[in-house]
Amino acid sequence: MQHSTAQILDGKAVAAEVLERTTRQVEAIREATGQVPGLATVLVGADPASVTYTRMKRKRAEAVGMRSMRIELPDTASTGEVLEAIDRLNRDEQVHGILLQHPVPKQVDERRAFDAIRPEKDVDGVTVASFGAMAFGGAGFASCTPGGIMTLLAHYGIDPAGRRAVVIGRSPILGKPMAMLLLGANATVTICHSRTRELGQVVSEADLVVAAVGRPRFVQGDWIRPGAVVVDAGYNEGNVGDVDYDPCAARAGWITPVPGGVGPMTIATLISQTARAAARQLDVTLEN
């Protein structure tokens, strides 16, 4: 077997470019309308990772010149209280994008809360309406992590068309929409999950692997077909992805690092989709 060192899919660098473009778009919207795009983050409870994620998202929004609004509800909040908060944001003209941080406490019906977000403001791409639009190639917003992965692949000229793609994971915000976007880009897609048999064998046939499992270093080096593209969407405690990096990098053609791969692309996609949402709501045509 020929050993190679994979080329890096540098999410940090590509995200910086996306954010730079978004900064220009925010300025163009402000010049055209006198209005500033606004992103509202809704955090229910105080899960430390979620607190950090929402803070990072607001910080990025502000760094590109947007307004950010922070809604915090106690971890005892009911579904009704979350729906009420979302309804207020749906009606607030200064809010162009709404992010409800996943996961919410278990007494809250997360699907119902996500689907209460007006599709025009669903910049995180979590509603059934957005999923449907994305799956049918419509104008809705992509779920941010899969959307960011597609942008990253495109940046490096990696066209999924005709490739055998294996997505490990089928969650509504990651694995499933990832598979739909790859299918839309003409890959031949297999979706794996906890009931998949002979997972290593299935993965070894892939030209492109996306790991979205939530288990540290789950994807093994000897599963990787030499030269394959390996995308690690996982983020586990201790900055560890779902891919066993060194052995996989020794066989892959391209690989995303953790951190600095998919994570920054997710946030950049959220921010960029918020600018696009504002442009649509304010009737501004963006140049790029």
Residues in contact with ligand NAP by CB under 6 A are 145, 168-171, 174-175, 192-196, 199, 212-215, 233-236, 242, 262-263, 266
* 8 Å CB contact between 133 and 126: no
Closest to ligand NAP by CB, 223 or 284: 223
Closest to ligand NAP by CB, 110 or 242: 242
Active-site entry in 25, 101, 273, 281? 101
Q: How many CB atoms lie within 10 A of CB 136?
A: 11
The Cα 21–Cα 286 span in angstroms is 11
Q: Which residues contact 154 (CB under 8 A, 6 or more apart)?
A: none
Which secondary-structure segment (H or E) carries 44?
A: strand 38-44
Identify whether 57 is a catalytic site residue.
yes
Identify whether 35 is a catalytic site residue.
no
Residue with tokens 């019906």, as numbered in its chain:
109
Query: What are the distances in angstroms from CA 101 to CA 1, 4, 23, 43, 47?
Result: 44, 39, 23, 6, 10
Closest to ligand NAP by CB, 168 or 206: 168
Q: How far is the CB of 172 from ligand NAP (least distance, A)?
A: 8
Q: How far is the CB of 209 from ligand NAP (least distance, A)?
A: 12
Q: How far is the CB of 60 from ligand NAP (least distance, A)?
A: 12
Active-site entry in 10, 25, 121, 124? 124
Residue 188 pairs in a beta bridge with 164
Residue, CB closest to ligand NAP: 171
> Nearest to residue 19, comparing CAs of 267, 287, 268, 286?
268
Q: How far is the CB of 9 from ligand NAP (least distance, A)?
A: 13
Closest to ligand NAP by CB, 21 or 215: 215
| Residues marked as catalytic | 57, 101, 124
